[in-house]
Amino acid sequence: MAILKIAKLGHPVLLKKTNEISDLKDTDLKKIIYDMSETMIDANGIGLAAPQVHLSHRLFIYRNPDIEEEEKIKVSILINPQIDKISDDTEDDWEGCLSIPGMSGLVRRSKKIKYSGVDLKGKKISGEAEGLHARVIQHEFDHLNGILYTSRLADKRAFGYSEEIEKFWKKNDEEKS
Ligand code: NI
């Protein structure tokens, strides 16, 4: 396994629409997913899409915050995914991205979604997600279409260095609630 180099904001690979994966038996794919998992865990991320490691494939991996037990990391894979919103309800919350290190933004996402795709063996995966789980899937799915969270800010001003956001935005949120 290997830790891959992560593409950072400004790299054109992050803005490109990815290609469907037609050959799941391609041995490289298994290695790519192992390496992506190692890279995501090393970088302390909860999701990683192929373009972030310079690969224009329609796949991402993520950690499901709802089902993880303490200290046990479970990595989920979604190949050739599709998502649909279940309702028009949206939710604003803070996001970061391994391709935009050190920064955070307040992003508007669908509250509840349906997702589907296949795993490495070609087995169909589908489910519903809400809250943080739904947010992670939408964020990673956007990467496959060359979209970064910075183009989905709930408020254009709500973006900046995480330490300033912590100090000036999140603190205010807590005081309000
Ligand atoms: Ni990201």
| Spatial contact of 61 and 76, defined as CB atoms under 8 Å apart | yes
pLDDT at position 173: 66
How remote is the CA of residue 139 from the centroid of ligand 1, in Å? 6
Q: Which residues of 106-117 are buried (b: 16+ CB within 10 A; e: fewer)?
A: bbebbbbbebeb
How remote is the CA of residue 100 from the centroid of ligand 1, in Å? 8
Higher pLDDT, 41 or 68: 41
Tell me if 100 is assigned to some domain: yes
The token duo for 38 is 């190692």
Tell me if 148 is assigned to some domain: yes
Tell me if 102 is assigned to some domain: yes
The whole domain housing 116 covers 12-176
Tell me if 2 is assigned to some domain: no
How remote is the CA of residue 98 from the centroid of ligand 1, in Å? 6
| Spatial contact of 98 and 120, defined as CB atoms under 8 Å apart | no
Tell me if 158 is assigned to some domain: yes
CA atoms of 84 and 86, how far apart (whole Å) = 6
pLDDT tens string 15-25 = 999 999 998 88
The token duo for 168 is 């000036």
How remote is the CA of residue 175 from the centroid of ligand 1, in Å? 29
Tell me if 6 is assigned to some domain: no
Q: With CA atoms as reference, report the closest residue to 113 among 81, 85, 142.
A: 85
pLDDT at position 18: 97
Answer yes or no: is pLDDT of 177 > 60.
no
Tell me if 169 is assigned to some domain: yes
CATH number at residue 97: 3.90.45.10
Tell me if 79 is assigned to some domain: yes
Residue 170: DSSP 8-state: I
CA atoms of 148 and 49, how far apart (whole Å) = 11
Q: Is 140 a catalytic residue?
A: yes
Q: pTM here?
A: 0.93
Among 38, 140, 164, 175, the active-site one is 140
Q: How far is CA 41 from CA 87, 117, 151, in A?
A: 32, 22, 26
Residue 1 pLDDT class (50, 70, 90 cuts): confident
Mean per-residue pLDDT, 55-72: 83
- What is the torsional sign of CA 40, 105, 92, 153? negative
Q: How many domains does the chain have?
A: 1
How remote is the CA of residue 148 from the centroid of ligand 1, in Å? 7
pLDDT at position 134: 96
Q: With CA atoms as reference, report the closest residue to 13 among 46, 54, 50, 41.
A: 54
pLDDT at position 25: 87
